[in-house]
Amino acid sequence: MNRKAQGIALRPAEEADLPLILEFIRELADYERLSHEVVADEESLRRHLFGPRPVAEVVLAEVEGEAAGFALFFPNLSTFLGRPGIYLEDLFVRPALRGRGVGQALLSYLARLAVDRGCGRLEWAVLDWNDPAIGFYKSFGARPLEEWRVFRLAGDALREMADRS
């Protein structure tokens, strides 16, 4: 699919894009009903996306010059495959611009990046109530890993576990 014919442009984010990246993160959190969990600010994003040891990357999407969405991702490693992978932390397209191929363009970009980097997989999590996203992902051949559950240590529980060392 020709993205330019659809008016979609993708580009790696630059440090000057930090306000937009944070705006997208807040819009995504609002959509996912998780706004109360957002504590990120431009400085923390600057440090982790553009500092001396960046831990993630961002690609931005525009439709006819209008900011449309973003994908934030980072490398992981499959010990079973013995190869790197890409973990997609966030994928968001503004509601008014959905259905125009932006999400597909972002996923295609990441898939190409994964192939070019010799990765064995591209993975992400989706909220179980987000039927539109689940259907969208399945339409491209992604499959849910029903036998797996995501676990998380954060906040006090993370600090308490760290104190056990």
Question: In what helix (H) or strand (E) does residue 69 lie, and over which residues does it extend?
Answer: strand 66-78
pLDDT band at 2 (very low <50, low <70, confident <90, very high): very low
For the range 75-84, what are the long-range contacts, defined as Cβ-Cβ under 8 Å and sequence gap of 24 or more?
A: 75/117, 75/119, 76/123, 78/120, 78/121, 81/120, 81/121, 83/118, 83/119, 83/120, 84/117, 84/118, 84/119, 84/120
- Determine the structural domain holding residue 114 and report its residue range: 4-163
Active-site hit among 31, 87, 109, 137: 137
Q: How many domains does the chain have?
A: 1
Q: How far apart are the first and last CA of the chain?
A: 51
pLDDT of residue 4: 57
CATH number at residue 140: 3.40.630.30
CA distance 65 to 62: 5
CA distance 69 to 100: 12
pLDDT of residue 148: 92
Tens of pLDDT along 133-149? 999 999 999 999 999 99
High-pLDDT (> 70) share of the chain, %: 97
pLDDT of residue 89: 98
Give the mean pLDDT of the chain. Answer: 95
- For residue 31, indicate whether it is catalytic: no
